[in-house]
Amino acid sequence: MRTAIEDLRALIRQHEHKYYIENQPEISDAEFDVLMKKLEALEAATDAPIPSDSPTQRVGGGAVLGTRIPHRNPMLSLNNSYNEQELREFDERVRRLLEDIPVEYVTELKIDGLGVSLIYENGVLTRGLTRGDGEYGEDITDNLRTIRSVPLRLVETETPFPTVLEVRGEVFIPKDRLNDINVQREAEGEPPFANPRNAAAGSLRLQNASITASRPLDIFIYTLNHAEGVEFATHTASLELMKRWGLKCNQHTDCHKSIEDVQNYYERWVTERHELRYETDGIVVKVDRFSYQHELGATAKYPRWAIAYKFNAQQATTTIERIDVQVGRTGVLTPVGILEPVTLAGATITNATLHNEQEIQTKDIRIGDRIVLERAGDVIPKIVEVLTADRTGNEIAFVFPDRCPVCDTPVQRTEDEVAVRCVNMACVAQLKRRIAHYASRNALQIEGLGPATIDQLVDKELVRDVADLYALEVEPLSKLDRMGVPSAGNLVYQIEQSKTAPVEKVLFGLGIFHVGETVAELLIEHFLSLDVLSTVTPEEIESIDGIGPQIAESVVNFFSQNQSLLDNLRAAGLHCFKVETASIRPEASAVTASFFSGKTFVVTGSLEGMTRTEASKEIKARGGKVASSVTSKTDYLIAGEGAGSKYAKAVELDIPIIGAADFFEKLQHRDT
């Protein structure tokens, strides 16, 4: 049996290489799955330990992040150049230091992702690190193992691989897959990732490797950092051998004898980069010969033998043809500029968010204005300038509506926020978004209930609130567009399964103003069921550390104003109302002592590569508690970009404030 298992492992590795490295699959996905299941069964039937490089061992039970490991050689940043003159100055410095020896340059695309280091011992992946501060990296081995294009075992060739091999690469998420992720995140009430780099960085920092495995991460290896017992004359030669060992290197690498050829390579990719499936923000230029690299050396920050030649920010000019107003699930009215279609960063852009009424007034944005859009790697284009000098006098100032554009209810403005709201809970636009939120992954996770289906259910008046979902039957559902009996049956089954969802998931799914996942968990930890929560006073809610009067008032008001909805959900058979039937999330398993253990945190602002929800989960996984508002009992405020009133409150109460960079640094440590 042992020989059969080894043969099957080798066969699966071969197919993984063909699919994920060479992009030339030889079998179908279904056939590959059959091989994997066969291997899992064989491994389960033997008492022999399963080696870490077995294809079945990519995803473990959970990543244990946080250990800081010193890099064998520092992962230095590259000095940047932004124009041809700076490129030529780099070439002149290189030639002067090498006393005019003829130099060949290697050019590579600069992938916009997250730099990592992979270490192989005797051909088996043993460790993976982030760049970190350049001197020390975070151990993310478990998460890197989930990336299918990262070989767990190298391919044996006529050139034996070194006993110890360290290579460095860039982990990224393809552009088209990022759009899919963001569509799903928005449907689930999560903010979209701003760009592929943020998505990749956030995915690799997750505590749960199984979640990382669900993200479409990929990698390009760009340099060989250490090869024990093996020497190469040039960077080009090392790339070729790494490819033969099964490592995935970018195909668009060239070698040039002149700086003019380097400039031509750059100009080619200024335009052609839009056709790539991944984001690239420039090219990297390296001296090819290793002996010259060693002679040139490095400064404290940068190698002298390489430079990043960055692309300019991508901009386009277009016209605002009109301004529409969309209504969100909490009634917030968001203005959207409808644009004359323009191509930017390889995509046709037809609209851009204008955020809110205040943003329009501050930038003096008018219908008919010529504007400059920018998309510097971002998925979401933003307006960076209004070309007021181009105005003809025919532009029309936008007047924000006093009534909801969907249901015609008078809108509400409050002094303490910039948002303008529709307060009609029966508003069709709000209803559709409330249903989407209720069915989202972080709430009741009703698969198959997407935006198109929700539109039909509401438009045909089959659903007037979320409780009506539980009365849906297969026959009328099957008559919806693109549904059919099998899909309708599956949707009814998924809705039925949601009746046993954990009570805090239901509470979050109800979409109560100011009640996010963290607040929902805090409330249920104290009150256990919706029936109990519906009877408490604002003062009882405020007694919970991290919950203030605004949240307490919102919760009490919701339960008093939505008794009919709650009665209908109870009648539908949801388990979340009574303590004896409510399913409560399991208590967090014991965690290793860390900086976060036993402390209370509040997270505010935007953290690069991680949503606030994900940040909260990381804190809890390390033994900390997360509150929604700053009080005297708060131990630390985690403040990202755009931190507002919570930051001011923390300063007022003299609460220690941790910035985003320091927060990510703390995540890397388990005991400090």
Mind listing the pLDDT tens digit for each residue in 644-657?
778 888 888 888 88
Average of per-residue pLDDT across 110-117: 92
* Percent of the chain topping pLDDT 70: 91
Here the contacts of 324-327 (C-beta below 8 Å, separation 24 or greater) are 324/405, 325/400, 325/401, 325/405, 326/429, 327/404, 327/405, 327/406, 327/422, 327/427, 327/429, 327/430, 327/433
Residue 362 pLDDT grade (very low, low, confident, very high; cuts 50, 70, 90)? very high
Q: What is the pLDDT of residues 451-510, one digit of tens each?
A: 889 999 999 999 999 999 999 999 999 999 888 888 899 899 999 999 999 999 999 999
Tokens representing 294 are 């060693």
Average of per-residue pLDDT across 71-85: 88
Q: Which residue has the tokens 């899992």?
A: 40
With helix as H, strand as E and coil as C, how does 617-643 read? Answer: HHHHHCCCEEECCCCCCCCEEEECECC
Q: Which CATH number fits domain 315-397: 3.30.110.30, 2.60.40.1260, 2.40.50.140, 3.40.140.10?
A: 2.40.50.140
Q: Which CATH superfamily is domain 2-57 in?
A: Helix hairpin bin (1.10.287.610)
Average of per-residue pLDDT across 354-364: 91
How far is the CA of 175 from the CAs of 32, 98, 122, 133, 614, in angstroms?
26, 40, 35, 27, 22
Give the model's pLDDT for residue 225. Answer: 92
Which is more confident, 467 or 44?
A: 467
Ramachandran assignment for 64, one of left (phi > 0), alpha (psi -120 to 50 degrees), beta (any other): beta
Residue 190 pLDDT grade (very low, low, confident, very high; cuts 50, 70, 90)? low
Task: Report how far residue 215's alpha carbon sits from residue 311's, in angstroms, rounded to the nearest whole number.
Answer: 27
Give the model's pLDDT for residue 23. Answer: 59
Query: What are the residue ranges spanned by the domains of the chain?
Result: 2-57, 69-310, 315-397, 428-500, 503-572, 600-667
Q: Are 40 and 16 in contact (CB under 8 A)?
A: no
Give the model's pLDDT for residue 587. Answer: 41
Residue 584 pLDDT grade (very low, low, confident, very high; cuts 50, 70, 90)? low
Tokens representing 280 are 């690239």
Q: What is the pLDDT of residues 590-602, one digit of tens each?
A: 344 567 877 889 9
Which is more confident, 369 or 655?
A: 369
In the chain, what is the straight-line distance between the N-terminal and C-terminal CA atoms, in Å? 47
Highest mean pLDDT: which range of 14-18, 172-176, 545-549: 172-176
Among the listed ranges 249-263, 278-292, 389-403, 536-550, which one has the minimum average pLDDT value? 536-550
Give the model's pLDDT for residue 671. Answer: 46
Give the model's pLDDT for residue 263. Answer: 97
Residue 583 pLDDT > 60: no
Question: Would you tell me how many other CB atoms lie within 10 Å of the CB of residue 555?
Answer: 25
What is the overall mean pLDDT for the chain?
86
Q: Which CATH number fits domain 600-667: 3.40.50.10190, 3.90.105.10, 3.40.640.10, 3.40.50.970?
A: 3.40.50.10190
Q: Which CATH number fits domain 428-500: 3.65.10.10, 1.10.150.20, 1.20.1290.10, 1.10.3720.10?
A: 1.10.150.20
Give the model's pLDDT for residue 392. Answer: 94
Residue 60 pLDDT grade (very low, low, confident, very high; cuts 50, 70, 90)? low
Residue 59 pLDDT grade (very low, low, confident, very high; cuts 50, 70, 90)? low
Give the model's pLDDT for residue 126. Answer: 94
Which is more confident, 31 or 298?
A: 298
Whole-structure pTM over 0.85, yes or no? no
Among the listed ranges 31-40, 92-101, 311-320, which one has the minimum average pLDDT value? 31-40
- Cβ neighbourhood burial of 201 (10 Å; 0-12, 13-18, 19+): buried
Among the listed ranges 16-20, 136-140, 473-477, which one has the minimum average pLDDT value? 16-20
Task: Report how far residue 656's alpha carbon sits from residue 599's, in angstroms, rounded to the nearest whole number.
Answer: 12
Residue 581 pLDDT grade (very low, low, confident, very high; cuts 50, 70, 90)? low
Give the model's pLDDT for residue 306. Answer: 96
Q: What is the pLDDT of residues 144-157, one digit of tens each?
A: 999 999 999 999 98
Looking at the domain that runs over 503-572, which CATH code has it been given?
A: 1.10.150.20
Give the model's pLDDT for residue 588. Answer: 38
Hey, what CATH topology would domain 69-310 get? D-amino Acid Aminotransferase; Chain A, domain 1 (3.30.470)
Residue 358 pLDDT > 80: yes
Q: Are 105 and 286 in contact (CB under 8 A)?
A: yes
- Counting DSSP H helices and E strands in the chain, the numbers are 24, 24
Residue 62 pLDDT > 70: no
Residue 314 pLDDT > 60: yes
Q: Are 480 and 456 in contact (CB under 8 A)?
A: yes
Average of per-residue pLDDT across 49-70: 68
Residue 14 pLDDT grade (very low, low, confident, very high; cuts 50, 70, 90)? confident
Catalytic residue among 110, 175, 286, 432: 110
Residue 63 pLDDT grade (very low, low, confident, very high; cuts 50, 70, 90)? very low
Residue 346 pLDDT grade (very low, low, confident, very high; cuts 50, 70, 90)? low
* Percent of the chain topping pLDDT 90: 46
Give the model's pLDDT for residue 672. Answer: 44
Q: Which residue has the tokens 């967090």?
A: 588
DSSP per-residue codes, 319-351:
EEEEEEEEE-TT-BEEEEEEEEEEEETTEEEEE
Q: What is the pLDDT of residues 220-272, one digit of tens each?
A: 999 999 998 888 999 999 999 999 999 999 999 999 999 999 999 999 999 89
Give the model's pLDDT for residue 586. Answer: 44
Residue 558 pLDDT > 90: yes
Average of per-residue pLDDT across 274-287: 92
Helix H or strand E segment including 119: strand 114-121
Does the fold of domain 69-310 match that of domain 2-57? no
Among the listed ranges 116-125, 155-164, 315-324, which one has the minimum average pLDDT value? 155-164
Q: Is 646 a catalytic residue?
A: no
Residue 379 pLDDT grade (very low, low, confident, very high; cuts 50, 70, 90)? low
